[in-house]
Amino acid sequence: MNNPFRKAWRSERSSNSLSESFASVEIPKDAGFWKKLFAFAGPGLMVAVGYMDPGNWATDIAGGAQFGYTLLSVILISNLFAIILQHLSVKLGVVAERDLAQACKDHFHPVVNFILWLFCEIAIAAMDLAEVLGTAIALNLLFGIPLSWGVAITIVDVFVILLLQARGFRWLESIVGGLIFIILICFAYQMVISQPEIFPILRGLVPDKEIVTNPSMLYIAIGILGATVMPHNLYLHSSIVQTRNYDRTTPGKREAIKFATIDSTASLFLAFFINAAILIVAAATFHTSGNHDIADIHDAHRMLEPLLGTSLASIAFAIALLASGQNSTLTGTLAGQIVMEGFLNIKLKPWLRRLITRLIAVVPAFFVTIMYGEGGTADLLVLSQVILSMQLSFAVVPLVMFTGDKLKMGIFVNKPWLKIVAWIISFIIIVLNLYLLYQTFFEDGFV
């Protein structure tokens, strides 16, 4: 009996993913290792942005404030999961020359594809909601701009992004890299002045059984996982890796996978450092001083200055938050374009696509900031992460399925050990996210 889930690609792809940027970045021929790596570097940084967006901040701050350094191991494990999944995303994009949305469109029934597209659009809107709120909160912390006005200001992002896209894909990558560097500097400074203890940090990188046995700790641990592995990144990475003009031959694809995987792995370790730094600063500043109930970005910013004795700490915190929100905005725009074109083969003008996505996020954010203020934005940030968790399985399972299919991937099919690891990761993500949803909606008062 034929397995309906195993089949070669049905047809040639209808168009290149991100056609305006496809194969637009030249890869030098006969160059050395480092020169080639530099040419391939960039997509990994854009993917890493999704692992340090404002939605991650709340879970990292809550984890550090309540449980000290214990949940560092969860950030590390989540990051290792992400490295493997992003490697699979690279393989799909390079070998099949399809992004994940195009691959789903080719493989599944139109009704299934419509459902997958709808879920993905909801997830992108939720991600954009986190970015809108993060930017608005940062503007409020830095300049005292009311949250509702800050939400309205984020609409201007539309035009800034269009200007950047018009200058070429390498320009976009450079801006993203620059903003990541700002976030890195801000948290490196905060880590130095918060003076964390080295040995407890190292001990926190080793998983503790209390993470599973303590319900409160497990809830935040699952929240960290849900906020770390982002579904839109799997669509994004499988597309933007194709912006490199490598040889579309077997040796050329093998080399592209190698360098693109190095790029994404190094970038995700950078994201790990930033996420770990947020938790470490929260642990060193709030947990050690007895402020265990800090779980809100506003509260964290408010408490940094009196506890660390310098206003620069709270300023650096707000600047990093602003850079994080702006960075996520750039990659969210591209992910939205990739998903719509891949699933529906509909090409909207970039400004229209961006404006629609941003308005879907701005309207609820604007309403909540006016009606409920700071407390409402905190709840809305948590809700955005829950929505992302709901969508994650619908991106991970097709990716693992496609890259493990020899008929689709040929000699590049996942090796047996990688297939096993990928399906174990998928199972863990599905189970933990179902548990998170149950806790959120049934045990925390939603139902």
Strand-pairing partners, residue 244, are: 25
Place of tokens 């409020």: 140
Q: State the Cα angle at 90 between 85 and 93, rounded to 5°.
A: 125
Q: Residue 203 and residue 370: Cα distance in Å, rounded?
A: 43
pLDDT for 434: 77
pLDDT for 295: 62
Can you name the CATH fold of 25-414? Amino acid/polyamine transporter I (1.20.1740)
pLDDT for 302: 74
CA dihedral 414, 415, 419, 422 (to 10 degrees): -70
pLDDT for 372: 64
pLDDT for 149: 86
* Residuewise pLDDT in 10s, the chain (447 residues): 445 555 678 777 767 887 878 888 899 988 889 999 999 999 999 998 878 777 677 788 888 988 999 999 999 999 999 999 999 999 999 999 999 999 999 999 999 999 999 888 888 877 777 777 788 888 888 888 888 888 888 777 666 766 766 677 888 888 888 888 988 898 888 888 888 989 999 999 999 888 888 878 887 887 777 667 778 889 999 999 999 999 999 999 999 999 999 999 999 999 999 889 989 988 998 888 887 777 667 777 777 777 676 778 788 888 888 888 777 777 777 788 888 888 888 777 766 766 776 676 677 777 777 776 666 666 677 677 667 777 888 899 999 999 999 999 999 999 999 999 999 999 988 887 777 777 666 765 444
Residue 61 to residues 221, 357, 373: CA-CA distances in angstroms? 12, 28, 20
**Token pair for 310:** 């310098």
- Is 300 within 8 Å of 294 (Cβ atoms)? yes
- The DSSP output letter for 330 is H
pTM (2 d.p.)? 0.88
The full set of domain ranges for the chain reads 25-414
Segments in 70-109 forming alpha helices (H): 72-91, 100-107
